[in-house]
Amino acid sequence: MIPVTILTGFLGSGKTTLLNRILREEHGRRIAVIENEFGEAGIDHQLLVQQDEQIIEMNNGCVCCSVRGDLVRILGDLAERRRAGRVHFERVIIETTGLADPGPVAQTFFVEEYIAAQYRLDAIITVVDALHGASQLDRHHEAQEQVGFADRLLLSKTDLVEPARTTALAERLRRMNPRAPIQAVHFGEVDVARILDLHAFDLDAVLGTEPDFLSDAGRHHHHHDDVASFVYRDTRPFNFERVQFLFGALLETYGRDLLRYKGMLNIADRSDRVLVQGVHMLMKASSGAPWRADEARENVLVFIGRDLPREIFLRGFALCHEV
């Protein structure tokens, strides 16, 4: 499976600077970068000496592609070229446009069987501009959604603002998405190991290395942001049919506003935990590690979304437990 990282962030946040560093540096990794567009606003002109070509191989082994066509087609074409030995890469980074909701890109790896059989969605990385980030969050829903989708947040341009302002922005980001660690970056200088192979979409792997990953997320905030997070947790086992029905009803009603949700379920009469993860209206459930004899079994569900009716969700799940 080829790991895929989705890189997003609002206009001017520094995504292209980060991509330029990835394509220029001798980092020893073979990465295919799928860029949303070529030209002056995209990857450096000096790198794209063959701008009419859709797939360009760089001297350091990286590959750059245009997303002028359909993402599914380009991913399929890359996989075919890789199998044929015509291009050589180990992983993919997809950059979204600055005004884009990254949800549809992530959903590609849920619904397209041909793509899902070859690629593994690893993580969504969001770059936030420390200088303009607060005002962008105030004025643009897209900026808030990009934060809500993130598995990691990269805070750029921190050298241009006073520390107190950076701290305030970081706290706001944590309230919006407490699951995403925040790291300051300067001119795209970040070790690629900090943004690759995170297994953020492999919940079982995350829980194996970070058992408390889903814990301490219950700080529902009262800030003015549309995007917020909350957690449901309870030790009583779920009735599987009831919780399935509830998820179906919630996704049908609120799926467009559900950015990310993930968690583990304690299902009655099952020895393993059930792991759920979703983007908008597409949800995936899988069998996780067995519950240990010395382990407290519990349900933990984290929801990140836009103006979600928290109490309706919590009351609904409270009705799904075995009597």
Q: What are the domain boundaries of the chain? A: 2-201, 205-318
* pLDDT interval class at 142 (50, 70, 90): confident
Most confident of 74-78, 194-198, 237-241: 237-241
Q: Return the structure tokens found at 213.
A: 């990953």
Residue 182 neighbours by CB under 8 Å, 6+ apart: 153, 154, 155, 170, 173, 174
Q: CA-to-CA distance for 69 and 292, rounded, in angstroms? A: 48
* Distance of alpha carbon 93 from alpha carbon 195, whole angstroms: 10
Residue type, 108: T
Query: What does the pLDDT average to over 138-156?
Result: 90
Q: How far apart are CA 141 and CA 241, in angstroms?
A: 35
**pLDDT for position 66:** 62
Residue with the larger pLDDT of the pair 203 and 58: 203
CA distance readout (Å), 22 to 64, 147, 155, 193: 11, 22, 17, 11
- Sort 315 into a burial class: Cβ within 10 Å, 0-12 / 13-18 / 19+: exposed
Predicted local distance difference test score (pLDDT) of residue 105: 85
Instruction: Identify the band that residue 311 occupies on the pLDDT scale cut at 50, 70 and 90.
Output: very high
> Is the distance from CB of 301 to CB of 267 less than 8 angstroms?
no
Question: How far is C-alpha 262 from the geometric centre of its chain's CA atoms?
Answer: 11
Residue 116 to residue 32: CA distance in whole angstroms:
17
Task: Name which of 59, 26, 56 is nearest 42 in CA terms.
Answer: 56
* Lowest mean pLDDT segment, chosen from 54-58, 116-120, 209-213, 275-279: 54-58
As a whole number, mean pLDDT of residues 106-126 equals 89
Residue tagged 């559900």 (tokens): 258
Give Cα separations from 8 to 74, 98, 170, 209 (angstroms): 19, 7, 17, 25
**Within 13 A of 312's CA, how many CA atoms are on the CB side?**
10
Q: Let me know if the fold of 2-201 is the same as that of 205-318.
A: no
Per-residue model confidence (pLDDT) at position 42: 43
- Other CB atoms within a 10 A radius of the CB of residue 3 amount to 19
Overall average pLDDT of the 242-248 stretch: 95
Strand 299-306 and strand 258-265: the pairing is antiparallel
Whether residue 220 has pLDDT greater than 60 = no
Are 238 and 267 in contact by the 8 Å Cβ rule? The answer is: yes
Q: At what angle do helices 163-176 and 141-149 cross, to 10 degrees?
A: 70
Return the pLDDT at 206. Answer: 65
- Over residues 303-321, the mean pLDDT reads 92
Q: What pLDDT is recorded for position 224?
A: 58
Tokens of 283: 């949800």
**φ, ψ (nearest 5 deg) of residue 230:** -155, 165
Which fold would CATH assign to domain 2-201? Rossmann fold (3.40.50)
pLDDT at 156 over 80: yes
Residues 205-318, CATH architecture: 2-Layer Sandwich (3.30)
CA distance 322 to 232: 16
Is pLDDT larger for residue 190 or for residue 4? 4
Q: Identify the band that residue 215 occupies on the pLDDT scale cut at 50, 70 and 90.
A: low
Q: pLDDT for 1-49, tens place per residue?
A: 899 999 999 888 888 788 777 777 777 788 888 876 544 344 444 443 3
Mean pLDDT confidence for 79-102 = 87
